Amino acid sequence: MSKIISGFSKLSKEEKIDWLAKNYFNNQPEIIQTIKQYWNVDEKLQQLHDDFIENTISNFYMPYGVAPNFVINGREYVVPMVVEESSVVAAASKVAKYWSTRGGFKTKVISTTKIGQVHFLYTGNKKDLITYFQQTKTELYAATAPITKNMEKRGGGILDIELIDKTDKLANYYQLHVTFETKDSMGANFINSCLEAIAKRFQKEDIEIIMSILSNYVPDCVVRAEVSCPVADLGGENPEKFAYKFEQAVKIAQIEPYRAVTHNKGIMNGIDAVVLATGNDFRAIESGAHAYAARNGEYTSLTHCEVSDGIFKFWIEIPLALGTVGGLTALHPMAKLSLDMMQQPSARTLMQIIAAAGLAQNFAALRALTTKGIQHGHMKMHLMNILNQHHATPAEKEAVAAYFESRTVSHSAVVEKLNSLRKPSINWVNFSDEKDIRNQLSKLTNDMQPAFGKMNAQQMIEHLSAVTQIANGNWKIDVFVSDEKTARRKPFLNTDGELQIGFKAPFLTEEPTPVKFSSISEAIDDLAQQVQLFFEVYENNPERTAIHPFFGELDFKYWKKFQVKHFTHHFKQFGLV
């Protein structure tokens, strides 16, 4: 049956979820529960989130953290960060504190202009096109007047419109290359609206407009952030060696693209986290930054380092087209909170804060790489993720964290330590493992003395078989266990408690029952047969129950729990566990 659907967007949220569950999750109720448990209990707030995008069915949570101790141009900041990767926030916080005592971050905006383009084809004479452009240029500005009016009041608007010839790259291809200043707005909608108005006015019979769109490559919307101090103030055992290795690491990223990509990814860890927290477009920031890193024809580092005359200097120059008004920044409550947290920065100030966060992140990564290695700190932060993945209890988390305080963290080492903590103090017998049971019981002889009780080895084996027959329905015991006693006794089977020495069901006599078989070997065969039958009867009738002479009515699950305790009890009786 086809799963193609028409009119999906017109379905209610509940109907969308029901369709999804039916067609892609086999109506699993836990799927619907998971989707709905991420809804906000505030219906108005949830509706706000629902309206951000199309076909919304739930929310996808990301951790929202804060990095304190940033000192930027002498002003103190706490920086909000939204990111799923462990160690990012911790690293930014640690580096911010480190540089807060060494002069902090010095930042400045180099330029804030943005670009949009009208792409078109023209097959006529180029001189005629130039003449037409010059004649209509004033009218192109005028065509956008209703759109630019408010922006111009804030000091923004269209800065220039140029005609660009690209026919050497693509036949008949030209551009109107438009430069904008959008002030505190990221300006995507503003720019695109202006471009469409310009295209409409510029179009004529021999000009074919292909498209009108802003560019996320903004090499003239650039910010610089820098830290510097005397090499001696870097601290550590050998600051000179650290400064040298750090500088070389940056230079490697400047000439080796394979390293540069990972190097810049670390920078974007810090930048994207703040961009997300403020409701800005991190995809636009990412694409613009990486294009800028390759602007000279080869992909290279976004950061730079220089050690000269005893001074260590580390800086970044990066394009950041951001907004603090309009879009999601004006709608998302957490985005507004983020801007409040940073003392309501202008777009220019936000550029500087985010550049500092990226530089801090890169410094943290390079310091780790050139000293203890990147995994040392990262895996320490990742430790809790590993423990949560393996459902560690609070006590287990505390014990494992203490263990790795002075050890290298790896996934396998954490799991090994966790398993060692979980290793049961009781070596419970797996009574369903026939091969192991036979192997253990075959070690017994009837002249062995039990650790407790009066049964010899064969009597013990036949006793296990007899009790299994009760569960199988092959031995009816005339015994009554009240509901009150069952309710009181049965929960014991859910615990790690052992059957106590001296435990004896009421139907048993004081003296051991005489043996039925001629040898221990035959008794083992009978026990194996009864255990096999135990699983068969319950497989054929999963709902069946049988009365245990002490615990009362038990189903398959509880009989298995009893059998584990019972086998372990008697294996201990003869020193098999």
The burial of 517, by beta-carbon neighbours within 10 Å (0-12 exposed, 13-18 middle, 19 or more buried), is given as middle
Catalytic site residue from 137, 177, 251, 265: 265
334 Cβ contact list (under 8 Å, min separation 6): 64, 277, 279
Contact 500, 453 (CB under 8 A): no
At what angle are helices 374-389 and 411-422 packed, to 10 degrees? Answer: 40
- The CA-atom distances, in angstroms, between 57 and each of 5, 8, 12, 17, 53 are 16, 12, 9, 7, 10
**Active site annotation includes 340:** no
Of the candidates 563, 546, 574, the one whose C-alpha atom is nearest the C-alpha of residue 459 is 574
Query: Is-catalytic flag, 181?
Result: no
Report the distance separating Cα 214 and Cα 193, nearest Å.
Answer: 10
378 counts as catalytic: yes
Active site residue 265: yes
Q: How far apart are CA 286 and CA 535, in angstroms?
A: 59
The token pair at 371 is 């000293």
- Tell me the C-alpha to C-alpha distance, in Å, between residue 281 and each of 278, 354, 544: 9, 13, 60
Catalytic residue among 181, 184, 281, 526: 281
CA 457 to chain CA centroid, Å, is: 56
Which residues are paired to 158 by β-bridges? 180
Q: CA 23, CA 26: separation in Å to the nearest integer? A: 6
378, 382, 565, 566: the catalytic one is 378
Which pairing describes strands 311-319 and 222-230: parallel, antiparallel, or unpaired?
antiparallel
Q: What are phi and psi of 509, to 5 degrees?
A: -85, 170
CA atoms within 13 A on the CB side of 163: 17
> Catalytic residue among 85, 165, 416, 536, which?
85
Residue from 251, 277, 560 nearest 432 by CA:
560
- Known catalytic residues? 85, 265, 281, 378
